[in-house]
Amino acid sequence: MTMIDPKMITTALELPGHRVTRSLGVVRGIVVRSRSIVGTIGAGLQTLFGGNITLYTDMCEHARADAHQLMVEHAGQLGANAIIGVRYDANELTAGVTEVLAYGTAVYVEISRG
C-alpha cells in the first residue's frame, strides 16, 4: 500500500508541477455516525445560549477526518500517489444518524519536466 503525501490531495482537477500518468478510478471513504443521548442533551443545552454548537462541530469534524482517511487508504491500496477532485457529501439517514462521504479520483502523478 502506497502512502500518500497530504500535499498530493486536492479539490482541484490537477496538481501544479505534476502530470497524471495513470488514473486509477474513484476512491471513497464512508463513515456513518450517530449522536449519543449525552451528546444530544449537551448540544441541546448549547443551543439555549446560541453560537457554535461545539459538540456537533466536533462530531462532524471527526466524521469528515475519518471519511478522508478511509478515502486515502483506498487510494493507497490502488497504488495511487495522489488524489484529485476531492469532494465531501453528508446525508442524514434517519434522525440523529448521518453518513459522511469523502470521494475523489485516485491517480499516479509524476513531476512535469518542462
Q: What is the mean pLDDT of residues 51-65?
A: 79
Residue 88's pLDDT is 97
Q: Is residue 46 very low, low, confident or very high in pLDDT (cuts 50, 70, 90)?
A: low
Q: Residue by residue, what is the 3-state secondary structure of 5-18?
A: CHHHECCCCCCCCE
Cell matching residue 61: 469534524
- When pLDDT is averaged across residues 12-21 and rounded to a whole number, the result is 96
Average pLDDT over all residues of the chain: 86
Using CA atoms, how far apart are residues 71 and 29, in angstroms rounded to an integer? Answer: 4
CA of residue 62 relative to chain centroid, distance:
10
Domain annotation for the chain: domains and CATH numbers: 6-111 (3.30.110.70)
Q: What's this model's pTM, rounded to 2 decimal places?
A: 0.83
The pLDDT value recorded for residue 36 is 57
